[in-house]
Amino acid sequence: MRADAAQNLDAILEAGAQLLAADSSASIAAIAAEAGVSRRLVHRRFASREALRDAVFQTKLDAIDAVLRDARLDTAPVAVALHRFVEGILAVAHRYPIDPDLMRDDAQSYARMLDQRAQVAAFMRRAMSEGLIRCDLPDGMAQAQLHQIIALVARRFPDEPARAADLAVHTLLRGMGRG
């Protein structure tokens, strides 16, 4: 793919993610305008808004796969892997804010998302077994808290991923108490 074509595709996918996150019925024309390309160009690449949405899902999932790989959840020291994961996921959430729960309508995307969540669940079990996170929590609670903390700091600090990651990790590991 030519460099300009790749840039246009990236712009379309990012604009699609932004606008579809705000309004799942955003038009191709609105997405094209936000991306700075013609509606015709978007239609040449994507047969429908649903096809564009599915491409946004795949792109977001590809980015999450890269974060999971780079964080080295199964080999890096747990605290290091946790911070890498959170900072990477915050960047993905900022770039592609489309709600992952919308992936339920696309079986392929949904299966990939569930696999990624399983990887994070395995990492959280590792963090518990290594004593970084309490092991007496109900099953899934630590992962659910991590997910909620990430969502909150992503909204609160959209342009400060390092600060947001520091706060998210500290809150997960130390709670909100003064100690």
Q: What are 140-159's pLDDT values in tens digits?
A: 999 999 999 999 999 898 88
Question: Where do runs of H (alpha helix) occur along 96-140?
Answer: 107-129
Q: What is the mean pLDDT of residues 2-14?
A: 90
Q: Using CA atoms, how far apart are residues 105 and 9, in angstroms rounded to an integer?
A: 23
For the 1-46 domain, the top CATH level (class) is mainly alpha
Chain-centre distance for alpha carbon 153: 13
Residue 175 zone, left/alpha/beta (φ > 0; ψ -120 to 50; rest):
left
Confidence grade of residue 178 (pLDDT, cut at 50, 70, 90): low
Q: Which of 7-11, 104-108, 120-124, 171-175 has the lowest mean pLDDT?
A: 104-108
**Where are the domains positioned within the chain?**
1-46, 53-174
Q: Is the pTM value of this prediction over 0.85?
A: yes
CATH topology of domain 53-174: Tetracycline Repressor; domain 2 (1.10.357)
